[in-house]
């Protein structure tokens, strides 16, 4: 087990408790959440020679008191893997973060994934079946996405059935866009549904988000028992909130989801604009009243009702005095003084130049 708080201080990072006390409120400080604490881990941190980072999905298991965090390492820096973390949270902030275990992800034969043949993203524990987790592979070497059920040992048990129109064709006219497939994954609390959300639109559903228009993406709902899709909904992201100050275009897409029940989700939209940084918008979305588009290869130009959503809060540069990084994870944490907590985490992209692994804990009043 790796204990982190002392390392955070050694690298000159602030602890969550200090930030909770010293953060300067931003002019647009959200009213529905308040900061409990923050911990930052440097990209140079490694475990047995393998870099720690790439956190792209997070799920809290209250029975164990552990957070399950998946790394989006494409088997380039180390094996595909997820981590077990213990984050001690008090009203004063984050007092300790321990990396309890590193578990490799393997195929159904127990073999490690080849370099570049995997891109792990969301992770979710099945609430009805202890010892079972599901994770998303955003794309293998052929560019094909997958939703995979595994045991706690990381070994693949089965794959969920995906509509054929998610698979890219040879001409790249239909199917997922590269690096814009499944980012969000979450079981409903009762375990009756598993939701998987795309970061951006399928090629046949329209262009990525711009500063003028959002992107028309999709959310799949599965029956976790049968591993088959039972519904699919269109979700329109907001336009890119800020233009880039360089030739690199700014972006916006869905980076994480958290199911509240069989109909409602918290949806994280993550935008990056060079010269500014990250803007994280969190919405409450509901599928009630939305058109079930399962089986429609293309929805652009057709008649449908998308998922409805309402804005909850925004985290941007300076909110609560934070320097926001690349948030790709959201989960409920333990209750603190009777209040719900949300724990968010960032993907450092294994980039030592200016990016870090960031854990943010918010008190959340629905």
- HEC readout, 168-204: CCCCCCCCCCCCCCEEEEEECCCCCCEEEEECCCCHH
Tell me the CA distances in angstroms from 190 to 147, 260, 314, one per residue in order: 20, 10, 28
Q: Which domains, ranges and CATH numbers included, belong to the chain?
A: 2-364 (2.115.10.20)
Model-wide pTM > 0.85: yes
**Nearest Cα residue to 278 out of 317, 243, 239:** 317
**Residues 320-331, buried b or exposed e (16+ Cβ, 10 A)?**
bebebbbbbbbb
Q: List CB contacts of 140: < 8 A, sequence separation 6 or more.
A: 117, 118, 119, 146
Instruction: Count other C-beta atoms under 10 Å from residue 295's C-beta.
Output: 9
CB distance 183 to 138 below 8 Å = yes
SS3 track for 142-158:
CCCCEEEEEECCCEEEE
Short-list 316, 318, 291, 286, CA closest to 306? 291
Distance between alpha carbon 180 and the CA centroid of its chain, in Å?
A: 12
CB 40 within 8 A of CB 8: yes
Structure tokens at 24: 């300067």
**CA-wise closest residue to 119 among 71, 186, 52, 57:** 71
Main-chain phi, psi angles of 79, to 5 degrees: -70, 150
How far, in Å, are 144, 173, 210, 280, 324 from residue 170 at the CA level? 12, 8, 26, 34, 38
- Provide the residue-wise pLDDT of the chain in tens; the chain has 366 residues: 777 654 443 333 333 333 333 333 344 678 789 999 999 999 999 999 999 999 999 999 999 999 999 999 999 999 999 999 999 999 999 999 999 999 999 999 999 999 999 999 999 999 999 999 999 999 999 999 999 999 999 999 999 999 999 999 999 899 999 999 999 999 999 999 999 999 999 999 999 999 999 999 999 999 999 999 999 999 999 999 999 998 888 999 999 999 999 999 999 999 999 999 999 999 999 999 999 999 999 999 899 999 999 999 999 999 999 999 999 999 999 999 999 999 999 999 999 988 999 999 999 987
């Amino acid at each position: 087990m790796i204990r982190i708080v002392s390392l955070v201080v050694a690298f000159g990072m602030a602890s969550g408790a200090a930030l909770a006390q010293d953060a300067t409120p931003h002019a647009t400080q959200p009213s529905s959440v308040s900061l409990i604490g923050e911990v930052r881990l440097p990209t140079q941190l490694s475990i047995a020679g393998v870099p720690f980072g790439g956190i792209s999905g997070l799920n809290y298991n209250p029975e164990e008191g552990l957070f399950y965090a998946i790394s989006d390492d494409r088997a380039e820096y180390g094996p595909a893997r997820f981590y077990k973390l213990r984050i001690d949270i008090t009203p004063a902030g984050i007092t300790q973060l321990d990396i309890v275990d590193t578990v490799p992800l393997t195929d159904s034969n127990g073999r490690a994934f080849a370099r570049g043949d995997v891109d792990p993203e969301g992770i979710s524990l099945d609430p009805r079946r202890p010892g079972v987790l599901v994770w998303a592979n955003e794309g293998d070497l052929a560019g094909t996405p997958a939703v995979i059920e595994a045991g706690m040992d990381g070994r693949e048990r089965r794959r969920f059935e995906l509509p054929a129109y998610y698979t890219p064709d040879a001409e790249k006219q239909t199917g997922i866009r590269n690096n814009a497939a499944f980012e969000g994954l979450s079981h409903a609390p009762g375990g009756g549904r598993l939701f998987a959300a795309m970061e951006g639109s399928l090629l046949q559903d329209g262009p990525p988000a711009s500063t003028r228009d959002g992107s028309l993406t999709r959310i799949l709902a599965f029956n976790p028992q049968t591993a088959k899709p039972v519904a699919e909904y269109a979700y329109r992201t907001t336009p890119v909130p800020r233009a880039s100050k360089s030739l690199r275009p700014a972006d916006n897409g869905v980076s994480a989801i958290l199911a509240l029940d069989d109909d409602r989700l918290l949806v994280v939209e993550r935008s990056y604009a060079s010269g500014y940084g990250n803007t994280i918008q969190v919405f409450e979305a509901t599928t009630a009243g939305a058109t079930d588009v399962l089986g429609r290869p293309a929805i652009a130009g057709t008649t449908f009702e998308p998922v409805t959503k309402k804005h909850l809060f925004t985290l941007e540069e300076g909110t609560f005095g934070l320097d926001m990084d690349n948030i790709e994870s959201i989960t409920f944490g333990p209750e603190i003084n009777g209040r719900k907590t949300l724990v968010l985490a960032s993907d450092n992209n294994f980039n030592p130049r200016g990016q870090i692994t960031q854990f943010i804990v918010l008190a959340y009043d629905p």
